[in-house]
Amino acid sequence: MNSKKVLITTALPYANGPLHLGHIFENIMADIWSRSLKMSGHEVYFFCADDTHGTPIMIEAQKRGITPEALIKQIGVEHKHDFVDFQISHTHYSSTHTEQNKQMANLFYNKMKQKGLIHKVTVDQLYCEHDKMFLPDRFVKGQCPKCHALDQNGDSCDICGATYTTRELIEPYCILCKNKPILSKTEQLVFKLNSFRDDLAKWLPEHTDKGTAQKMSSWLKSDLRDWDISRNAPYFGFPIPGEENKFFYVWLDAPMGYISCSNEFFETQNDSYLKAWSPQSDFEIYHFIGKDIIYFHTLFWPALLKTAELKTPSQVFVHGFISINGQKMSKSKGTFIAARDYLNLLPADHLRYYFASKLGTGQDDIDFHLEDFALRTNGELIGKIVNLFSRSFALIKHFNGELAILSESEKQLLKENSKYLEQTQKHYHDRNFHLAVDLIRELTDHVNKYFDQMTPWKLVKQNPAEAQKVLTLSLNKAFQIAVLLSPILPDLTERIFNLYHIVTPVTWNDFFRVFENQKLNSFEPLLGRIEQVLLNQLIKQPQNQTQASTDKSQNQINQQPSPARSSAGLKPEIDISAVDALDLRVAKVIEAKFVEGADKLISMSLDLGPLGTRHIFAGIRPAYPQPEMLIGKNIIVVANLKPRKMKFGLSEGMSLAAGPGGSDLCLVTLLDDTKANPGDSVK
- pLDDT-derived band at 560 (thresholds 50, 70, 90) equals very low
Integer Cα distance of 310 and 305 in angstroms? 5
CA distance readout (Å), 356 to 36, 38, 379, 428: 13, 18, 15, 10
Integer Cα distance of 590 and 452 in angstroms? 6
Q: What is the mean pLDDT of residues 62-66?
A: 93
Q: What is the mean pLDDT of residues 432-461?
A: 95
Closest CA to 382 of 444, 424, 471: 444
Q: What is the mean pLDDT of residues 348-356?
A: 97
Residue 554 has pLDDT above 70, yes or no: no
Most confident stretch, 156-165, 270-279, 619-628: 270-279
Closest CA to 424 of 494, 482, 491: 482
Closest CA to 312 of 288, 336, 344, 283: 283
Helix (H) or strand (E) holding 177: none
Residue 552 has pLDDT above 60, yes or no: no
Cβ atoms of 122 and 185 within 8 Å: the answer is yes
Q: What is the pLDDT of residue 668?
A: 80
Q: What is the pLDDT of residue 567?
A: 32
User: Strand pairing of 133-134 and 118-128?
Assistant: antiparallel
Topology (CATH) of 386-512: Isoleucyl-tRNA Synthetase; Domain 1 (1.10.730)
- pLDDT-derived band at 576 (thresholds 50, 70, 90) equals low
Q: What is the mean pLDDT of residues 614-623?
A: 85
Cβ atoms of 495 and 526 within 8 Å: the answer is yes
The domain limits of the chain are 5-107+250-349, 110-196+211-232, 386-512, 576-667
Residue 287 has pLDDT above 60, yes or no: yes
Q: What is the pLDDT of residue 676?
A: 79
Q: Name which residue leads in pLDDT, 429 or 622.
A: 429
User: pLDDT tens digit string along 317-346?
Assistant: 999 999 998 888 776 666 789 999 999 999
Q: What is the mean pLDDT of residues 487-504?
A: 95
User: pLDDT tens digit string along 201-250?
Assistant: 999 999 999 989 998 988 899 999 999 999 998 899 999 999 999 999 99
Q: 5-107+250-349 in CATH: which number? A: 3.40.50.620
Q: What is the mean pLDDT of residues 420-447?
A: 97
Q: Name which residue leads in pLDDT, 344 or 609.
A: 344
Mean pLDDT, the chain, rounded, equals 88
Q: What is the pLDDT of residue 582?
A: 83
Q: What is the pLDDT of residue 364?
A: 85
Residue 504 has pLDDT above 50, yes or no: yes
Residue 548 has pLDDT above 50, yes or no: no
Q: What is the mean pLDDT of residues 420-431?
A: 97
| N- to C-terminal Cα separation, the chain | 60
Q: 576-667 in CATH: which number? A: 2.40.50.140
User: pLDDT tens digit string along 153-198?
Assistant: 888 887 776 778 888 999 999 988 999 999 999 999 999 999 999 9
pTM: 0.78
- pLDDT-derived band at 593 (thresholds 50, 70, 90) equals confident
Question: What residues are paired with 327 via a beta bridge?
Answer: 324
Phi-psi region of 606 (alpha: psi -120 to 50; beta: other; left: phi over 0): beta
Residue 661 has pLDDT above 80, yes or no: no
**Is residue 68 classed as helix, strand or coil in its secondary structure?**
helix
Indicate the length of the chain as a whole number. Answer: 683
Q: Name which residue leads in pLDDT, 361 or 429.
A: 429
Angle at which helices 418-429 and 464-485 pack, to 10 degrees? 20
Q: 110-196+211-232 in CATH: which number? A: 2.170.220.10
User: pLDDT tens digit string along 380-408?
Assistant: 999 999 999 999 999 999 999 999 999 99
Q: What is the pLDDT of residue 628?
A: 67
Spell out the alpha helix ranges (H) of 517-639. Answer: 532-536, 543-559, 576-580
Cβ atoms of 88 and 491 within 8 Å: the answer is no
Looking at the chain, the whole-number percentage of residues with pLDDT higher than 70 is 91
Q: What is the mean pLDDT of residues 466-487?
A: 97
Q: What is the pLDDT of residue 557?
A: 25
User: Strand pairing of 118-128 and 182-191?
Assistant: antiparallel
- pLDDT-derived band at 570 (thresholds 50, 70, 90) equals low
Q: What is the pLDDT of residue 161?
A: 67
Residue 550 has pLDDT above 60, yes or no: no
- pLDDT-derived band at 607 (thresholds 50, 70, 90) equals confident
Q: What is the pLDDT of residue 630?
A: 80
576-667 matches 110-196+211-232 in CATH topology: no
Integer Cα distance of 300 and 313 in angstroms? 13
